[in-house]
Homo-oligomer: A and B are copies of this chain.
Amino acid sequence: MTGKLYGVGVGPGDPQLLTLKAAALIRRARHLAYMVNEDGESMARTIASGFIGETPNEIPIPMPMRIGPDATRAAYDRAAARIGEVLDAGDDVVVLCEGDPLFYGSFIYLQARLFERAEIEVVPGIASPMAGAAALGHPLCARDETLTVLPATLPEDVLKARIAAADAVVVMKLGRNLVKLRRVLDELGLAGQALFVERATWPDQRIRPLTEAPEDASYFSLVILSKGDGTWS
């Protein structure tokens, strides 16, 4: 019988923000897969490390960041083939996913390659907008507000039009796009209402008004913006 594939969200960084379900699945996993960057580092494995059982079979999935779509697809193909072999042998595989597996997560591409081959269960995780809002103590959205989540990697004109049309906004994946985002928010007269969070819930978390955000913001930073008057009566 084919094994089962688990996509398990490990949350934003603080290991105490794993769910009970995620922690239990990771503890008893015999096959554990996760993305690793060019340096062999895995943020998801780092977050989950305290819960990993004794000597599971670990399946690091190399995922280069600065390559084109063809190479990315090939990397997912290889990962799916490797995981598929374990599933075919009848064993379950737990894939560790930063944040939530289905919210800008690479698990989406593994699932697309394996859903016809095995049963899949996704365990949701705390996503970075919720972690960022909690770190700031600032609401994401309330009542009849619309929340728009968008990546800062979008072209400048698209970013500007979408933010102009939105109520509450979360802009993710800042990194080098922070300069572009600040320009957009300055032009819209909204920079003063925007809050910056980098690596929410990690020991090196940084929180600032956007106007004081550091120039070296990492990819794992985001901005939360409310257009309301800041009162929540």
* Interface mask (A103-140 → B, CB under 8 Å = 1, otherwise 0): 11100110110010000101111110111011001111
Residues of A121-180 contacting chain B, CB below 8 A: 122-127, 129-131, 133-134, 137-151, 153-154, 162, 165
Whether A149 and B146, one on each chain, are in contact in the complex, defined by CB atoms closer than 8 angstroms, is yes
A83 CB-CB contact with B under 8 Å: no
Whether B102 and A133, one on each chain, are in contact in the complex, defined by CB atoms closer than 8 angstroms, is yes
A82 CB-CB contact with B under 8 Å: no
- Partner of A134 from B123, B140, B165 at Cβ < 8 Å: B123
CB-CB under 8 A for A111 and B137, given A19-B16, A20-B17: yes
A101 CB-CB contact with B under 8 Å: yes
Tally of chain A residues near chain B (CB < 8 A) = 59
Given the complex, which residues of B lie within 8 Å of A15, measured CB to CB? Answer: 20
- Partner of A146 from B129, B133, B150 at Cβ < 8 Å: B150
Residues of A within 8 A of B (CB): 9, 11-12, 14-21, 23-24, 73, 100-105, 108-109, 111-112, 115, 120, 122-127, 129-131, 133-134, 137-151, 153-154, 162, 165, 231-233
